[in-house]
Structure 1
């Protein structure tokens, strides 16, 4: 006799009962066997759920431990490197002013200055990653932040002949945001989109309001090379990048910023078709008590 172990049409196994001779089971016996099978199926399902949750929590704990260690290492390395880089930048800048314009020495010094500045940017991102800076939220219009971010990268898009299509919700509402941090996220996503498209490509920026779910969304989409399904799972990991000049910290830092705003950032991509990033943020009303406490702390320094 084979009795299936199933929960809501999900087959988990079966109980096979061997009999010494063929016989007919009574209704009470069949009810008993079915009840035992249902109880066994429920127990198996609960054990599987507990094991899956345990594996998930173990993964999260390991990931958080790695991030914590990485943050401490990053902060230490950044501090040790920042000081000598400052000296290199200072002396190379002074020397470039004293050499003949257009000479090979001046060109070499400009390369040193440019690469030193790039190193300082990388270090700054390391510090931002390790500090997990708490956002200073004020009522803000996401459309204004989008417009500011587009203005910052406008020249780079122009030089690459990349078209930007902007569709901002006319009924946008204000919510509590750290304008500088959200601008940093949007600039990073815009630059990623720019790097993904070829010349004469297209990037679309759209904002929407979902009053029913009490959220606002900003979508940045491109028609570039796309990201493979395997790489999509890794793009928010620190130091992971597919770009030859990237640091692999931009999306990791951006994800942390959005999570600190109680929001979410999602990505949808298909190779050779393009990528969409959706930043979702909750609509939050200003808490007057918290605001006064924050302003007091700002003035007193505590």
Structure 2
């Protein structure tokens, strides 16, 4: 917008002859004109700033809308795929159950026939493997109603590490927990989120067959009241060509596996109204952003030291997160805290 100036051009004397002697002439209202120009310039400046702010807000909302539409389309595709997969899984599970039953009946009959018994054990092992695949498909395809409760992040990590302790110990992996005291309680479904964390920890251990460090970190999301959980390994990371497809159902970069583990993790986080992201940083880094618990469910840590008498309680105090307890099956040297 064009700014006005308070410069005025004086008429040339030849254009306007001097008035006759004795006739009074009013002086030009220069001060009033300058005031009007100043007000006009202030208004145009405010309009320009408002225009820039509105343009930026439109860009942001357009990006959010595009992201929401992409997520909605993905959810619809996954729902359709899940229904189809569930139907196939149920059809496969019935004959698998019959095969397993007959194989178990044969075990007692072939005990004295080592060669045939060995073949039967291979059949039983294959059936179990197929059953595991069917179970993964059904977990992926089923509805995921969330029954949320509030719990500290360290408690979620503790339970997941305990479930995976034998695998972690066998792979000679060190566990490092780094839970910020500012992390809000996580509002989550215990069974669903436990499954997601176990899947991520299992992937991390498989990425470090020669040993390494598994880091479980948590802090508060700076842009919201959400909790941010991070699972980090020191493996080779994810191939950049595959990173955009890593959460797709049945996509895997490994020789074994269904390719449903991370797809299930994505569905679990999505069901919580959260978000999951992955990137490489000296290994694979998975970041889960989950809703924080409502303020009414923020309970003090029972192990925290109470405020001393007479202390100023007007400021909010942050209760420290309890450290990860060494799970059975792991040594104290394998579990490290903080920093």
TM-score of the superposition, structure 2-length normalised?
Answer: 0.62
Tell me the equivalent position of 2:165: 154
Among 81, 87, 91, which residue is 2:92 paired with? 81
Tell me the equivalent position of 2:288: 279
SS at match of 1:74: helix
Measure, in 2, the Cα distance between the counterparts of 1:83 and 1:202: 42
Contact kept? 2:184, 2:226, Cα under 8 Å: no
Distance 1:104 1:170, change over 3 A: farther
Distance 1:171 1:94, change over 3 A: farther
Q: CA deviation at 1:170?
A: 5.1
Residue pairs, 1:1-302, within 5 angstroms: 63-100=74-111, 103-169=114-180, 173-210=184-221, 213-269=224-280, 273-285=282-294
Q: CA deviation at 1:227?
A: 1.1
Contact kept? 2:93, 2:131, Cα under 8 Å: yes
Higher RCO (C-alpha 8 Å, min separation 6): 2
Contact kept? 1:143, 1:172, Cα under 8 Å: no
Higher strand share: 1
Higher helix share: 1
SS at match of 1:165: strand
The unaligned stretches of length 5 or more in structure 2 are: 1-58, 298-339
Measure, in 2, the Cα distance between the counterparts of 1:182 and 1:240: 21
The unaligned stretches of length 5 or more in structure 1 are: 1-47, 289-302
Deviations 1:76-97 (A, max 9, x none): 1011001111112222233334
Larger radius of gyration: 2
Measure, in 1, the Cα distance between the counterparts of 2:156 and 2:194: 6
TM-score of the superposition, structure 1-length normalised?
Answer: 0.69
SS at match of 2:215: strand
Contact kept? 1:139, 1:286, Cα under 8 Å: no
